[in-house]
């Protein structure tokens, strides 16, 4: 073959991971000169430490096995990009979906972009910059043993069209709690966007009960994966 091969494959569900390992070997067997692998949704990446004794360090295990046949790795919005330190044999880079999310919401009248926690404030700011509006993050304050207040840390939500941006939506619990609270605070509309839409156990339906729009990128395909990350990947390639 004597050429650079680009493989695009998720490591989730597990069948895709096995397929990827076999594709890597098949490409090498055909004489591929260089193999670049794009993993839009990296399953196992969130197990980045042993949360309980006896657990596997899954992110490290997967990266160590994958690096054996790859010459370059591109991922998108890893929960913690630092895990790529375990992919030591070749260059690796975590790409950001924020430009694609920002482009999608440009001209949709968004007043405020919120990250669901302090750690997500950078992503929210990046999206807000593209849209041309303000950004902030949500802060959880414990009022008593049974009461928790969730509100934007610095700005008000009253009368605003708010967009919450997260890296992953799994059960939808985080966004539903935030959205309910924002509506209570007088937000006019609440939109939710994420990079990786896992949407477990009917999460899309539950989210629609409180959010005015739910959308994800197409790193995982679903009925709401309306934002393409193709441009982000193509630009890097
Ligand atoms: C957490 O750190 C992540 O950024 C997401 O907020 C979380 O994984 C979302 O999970 P769920 O949809 O189940 O609340």
CB pairs under 8 A, 24+ apart, for 52-59? 59/83, 59/86
167 lines ligand 1 (CB under 6 A): yes
Q: What is the pTM of this model?
A: 0.94
The count of other CB atoms within 10 Å of the CB of residue 208 is 14
Q: pLDDT tens per residue, the chain (237 residues)?
A: 678 999 999 999 999 999 999 999 999 999 999 999 999 999 999 999 999 999 999 999 999 999 988 999 999 999 999 999 999 999 999 999 999 999 999 999 999 999 998 888 999 999 999 999 999 999 877 777 777 677 788 888 999 999 999 999 999 998 999 999 999 999 999 999 999 999 999 999 999 999 999 999 999 999 999 999 999 999 999
- Catalytic, 140? Answer yes
Q: Where do we find the tokens 């393409």?
A: 228
99 vs 103: CA distance, rounded Å: 6
> Which tokens is 60 given?
């490290």
Please report the atom of ligand 1 found closest to the CA of residue 170: 12
Residue among 42, 168, 195, 197 whose CB has most ligand 1 atoms within 8 A, to mutate: 168
Which residue, by CA, sits nearest to atom 5 of ligand 1?
168
- Considering 34, 96, 140, 183, which one is annotated as catalytic? 140
* SS3 label, residue 158: coil
User: How many whole angstroms separate alpha carbon 218 and alpha carbon 141?
Assistant: 34
Write phi, then psi, for 132 (nearest 5 degrees).
85, 45
Residue length, the chain?
237
């Amino acid at each position: 073959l004597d050429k650079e091969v680009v493989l695009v494959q998720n490591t989730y569900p597990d069948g895709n991971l096995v397929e990827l390992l076999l594709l890597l070997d098949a490409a090498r067997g055909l004489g591929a000169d260089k193999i670049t692998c794009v993993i839009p949704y990296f399953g196992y990446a969130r197990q980045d430490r042993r949360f309980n004794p006896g657990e596997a360090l899954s992110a490290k295990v997967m990266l160590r096995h994958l690096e054996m046949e790859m010459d370059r790795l591109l991922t998108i919005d890893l929960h913690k990009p630092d895990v790529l330190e375990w992919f030591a044999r070749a260059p690796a880079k975590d790409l950001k979906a924020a430009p694609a999310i920002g482009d999608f919401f440009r001209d949709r009248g968004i007043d405020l972009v919120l990250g669901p926690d302090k750690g997500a404030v950078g992503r929210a700011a990046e999206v807000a910059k593209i849209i041309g509006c303000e950004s902030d993050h949500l802060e959880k304050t414990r009022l008593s043993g049974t009461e928790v207040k969730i509100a934007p840390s610095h700005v008000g939500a009253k009368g605003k069209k708010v967009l919450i941006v997260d890296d992953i939506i799994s059960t939808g619990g985080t966004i539903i709690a935030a959205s309910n609270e924002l509506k209570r605070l007088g937000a006019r509309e609440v939109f939710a966007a994420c990079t990786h839409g896992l949407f477990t156990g009917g999460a899309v339906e539950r989210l629609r009960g409180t959010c005015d729009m739910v959308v994800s990128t197409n790193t995982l395909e679903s009925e709401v994966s309306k934002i393409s990350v193709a441009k982000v990947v193509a630009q890097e390639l």
